[in-house]
Amino acid sequence: MKILCFGSLNLDRVYQVPHFIRPGETMAAEELNTFCGGKGLNQSIALARAGAEVYHAGAVGQADGGMLVDALEASGVDCTLVRRLPCPTGHAIIQVNTEGQNCILLFGGANQEITRAQIDETLARFSPGDMLVLQNEISQLDYLMEAAGKKGMVIAFNPSPMTPELLKMPLSRVSWFLLNEVEARDLCGEEVPEEEYPERILQKYPDSRVVLTLGSRGCVYQDSRERLAVAAKKVKAVDTTAAGDTFTGFFLAGIAAGEPVAQALEEATAAAAISVSRKGASPSIPTREEMLHTRF
């Protein structure tokens, strides 16, 4: 099984702040770092560091995107499907507070210049049964989802960031939903006790499988036959920016390798715990070897 991650590529500008900026407030940041990011890039790197064969498709700016392609290739990701366009690369402004929590402002840039022609050319390189990993940070996502579904690819979807338009997409094509409680609530369209979200999603999309991440409270998996829960590892959180992407990459790498769901959940949980103990997005993602040898 080949894995295609068709997703965003961003430059992350991370500001350490005493607290998240309030309306009308001017505040000096304590530190600024620039990292390679974007949910697509983070998940591709996590997949590769978890041991998967992964191809990334997307777009960067000709003038400022080289750093992102270099970062992907350094982690073993195939970047032959990444296009360089005459526009700015996508970027994010990220505030990280003293508790390690973050808030993120995105500018789409080249991520919003994906075309149907690029999608058709990219999917021609893949076969039925190959996995497509998606997030909600690129243009033409509905067309991409429909085309991949018709081709018989296995679609894993992290519906982040949630938007009203997302609910109009062909989500019945999705085999795996990987999402947090906020995204699950928006996908369900109502607020219910968090333990009910997987079942509500399965009622809407009965052919899918759901992985609900709950931060420090671990994660829950549910399909039409079973439900599993895994506790989070105890670590001091420094920066949670790439925790969800790390979890997604390691979990899907395990599934693609034929691991039981329970094992893939345990490994993804351990990898995410390592990532939150470090600063940055992609630099915080561990390797599989490190994940296997870290004791909590």
**CB-based contacts of 65: which residues, under 8 Å, 6+ apart?**
9, 84, 89, 110
Which of 12, 186, 239, 245 is labelled catalytic? Answer: 245
- Catalytic residue status for 70: no
Q: List active site positions.
A: 245
